A = this chain, B = another copy of it.
């Protein structure tokens, strides 16, 4: 393994710990990163909780979810979320799947999740909700194959976040850091919105603000500062 890949996998492990420490994932949830040397492959932990993932747990998959590194570890049953989204969105390098408690209410009601604070703008203005029931009827709600993964990716479309009814959400980014930070601030934004709605007459960000705040949020200045802080907490 070359140094670049080694550093990327180290970052993926840290991202697992950050997501757990910020309570974005609990015993479940996962984060992947595309192989920068082979865009048809991605890296993802074996079936283990993010809080305790270590370097030895990282597996490599093709976009269909087949292990390609000869590993005999047990993969996540829902790895198809990652492959299908990476397949449909070439510009995306990293995918977070999680069950943030403050986000789930917006997937099971008719109340749209919307940008309400500048640090949460990156979630976007039109956040789709994927209901697995629509095309697959009664299931265990898990994304268990590529057909379901592609259906999810289709609902995600060009958005940054897709809510999954009764389940959680998936968040994408052009890097591990972006996907992680967007998932962290998605949770924060949803918390603020849950607290604001009972007060009535909520003013959300305008379309122009959402765009400008997203650019700001993804600037090196902002990403580096937050990343330095969140990783310091788990070291």
Chain A residues within 8 Å of B, Cβ to Cβ: 26-28, 47-49, 51-52, 74, 77, 99, 101-102, 104-106, 108-111, 116-119, 133, 137-142, 165-168, 188, 191-192, 194-209, 211-213, 215-216, 221-222, 225-226, 228-230, 232-233
Given contacts A109-B196, A225-B49, contact A212 B118 (CB under 8 A): no
Whether A226 contacts B111 by the Cβ 8 Å rule is no
Whether B197 contacts A116 by the Cβ 8 Å rule is no
Please name the residue on chain B nearest to A106 by beta carbon: B199
| Copies of this chain in the oligomer | 4
Query: Given the complex, which residues of B lie within 8 Å of A188, measured CB to CB?
Result: 26, 101
Query: Given the complex, which residues of B lie within 8 Å of A52, measured CB to CB?
Result: 228-229, 232
Query: Given the complex, which residues of B lie within 8 Å of A207, measured CB to CB?
Result: 138
Query: Given the complex, which residues of B lie within 8 Å of A205, measured CB to CB?
Result: 141, 166
Among A26, A118, A208, residue most surrounded by chain B Cβ atoms (within 10 Å):
A118
